[in-house]
Amino acid sequence: MSKPQTMRLDKLLANLGYGSRREISMLANSGRFLLDGARIAHVDERIALTPDLPERLTFYGEELDPLPGCVVMMHKPLGVTCSHKEAGERVYALLPDRWQRRDPAFSTVGRLDKDTSGLLLLTDDGAFLHNVISPKRNIAKKYRATLDRPLREDAAALFAAGTMMLEGEKTPLLPAVLDVISEREALLTITEGRYHQVRRMFAAVGNHVVALHREKIGGLELPDHLEPGEFMVMNEDEKAVIFG
């Protein structure tokens, strides 16, 4: 197994949003941070970022926040935005305040529209983000769409053909799988992440999406117990399910 990364303790804690290095030094001196139950004498020493570190290093008696390299699974509610450019509450505001001061910061892994709900991943791990969104990986994303009017009978064949062109684009869409549930409800699985792709695909077959919810990314399904606005930190096994 490879050696764990090490980092200066004050830098780690500052990067996790606990304060400036000066504030961290003061908090450590006054025993607010404890390492293995003992006061930290030297915050400038390097520490190994082992998985058990959050349990060993406490702040006011509470386990440390997740270490860098964190992946969060969120049930994105309707009405919040993934974009910094769009007005309104951002998905990041659903995370604890301190997590919003982290460096590197959390980014969303791809985006969901403001009026789309469902499975959203956030991470501070650039390599993980790249692996999920890279076109080379072809990670499937499954959406449940509620439609304005009955679906055209040939919609599934058109989506599967690999020849469909969206307005204003130069390359055809990759084949996508449509599972029709009823006249106005369908599951659509796509492997790309083009702008408003699902809504535009249904528009291209003369329909209109009235509700959109992402159920799955790769092999990972949004768990039933995760209510809109709730999130959980993913462990290595859960992350692996995405690519499995």
What is the C-alpha to C-alpha distance for residues 199 and 100, in angstroms, rounded to an integer? 31
Q: Taking the CB of residue 52, how many other CB atoms lie within 10 A of it?
A: 8
Q: Which is nearer to ligand URA, 69 or 77 (CB)?
A: 77
CA distance 68 to 51: 11
Task: Please indicate whether residue 113 is annotated as part of the active site.
Answer: yes
| Encoded tokens for 108 | 């969303």
Instruction: Name the minimum Å distance from CB 48 to ligand URA.
Output: 39
Binding of ligand URA by 124 (CB under 6 A):
no
Name the one residue in this structure whose structure tokens are 């509450």: 89
Catalytic residue of the set 103, 113, 125, 224: 113
Q: Figure out which of the listed residues 109, 113, 159, 176 binds ligand URA, where binding follows CB under 6 A.
A: 113
Residue with token string 């053909």? 161
Q: Please, where are the H alpha helices in 72-154?
A: 126-133
DSSP letter, residue 223:
P
Residues in 175-204 at the binding interface with ligand URA, rule: CB under 6 A: 196-199
Sign of the dihedral through C-alpha 28, 33, 38, 44: negative
Binder of ligand URA out of 73, 139, 156, 212 (CB under 6 A) = 212
As measured in angstroms, the least distance from the Cβ of 145 to ligand URA is: 9
Using CA atoms, how far apart are residues 110 and 26, in angstroms rounded to an integer? Answer: 39
* Number of residues binding to ligand URA, judged by CB under 6 A: 8
Select 10 or 113, whichever has its Cβ closest to ligand URA. 113
CA atoms within 13 A on the CB side of 243: 13
Cα dihedral across residues 215, 221, 225, 228: positive or negative: negative
> Segment contacting ligand URA (CB under 6 A): 6-14, 108-116, 122-130, 216-224?
108-116
Q: Does 222 bind ligand URA (CB under 6 A)?
A: no
Is the Cβ of residue 6 or residue 134 nearer to ligand URA in the bound state?
A: 134
Residue number with CB closer to ligand URA (98 or 208): 208
Nearer to ligand URA, 184 or 196 (CB): 196
Give catalytic residues, as residue numbers: 113
Site residues (vs ligand URA, CB under 6 A): 112-113, 116, 196-199, 212
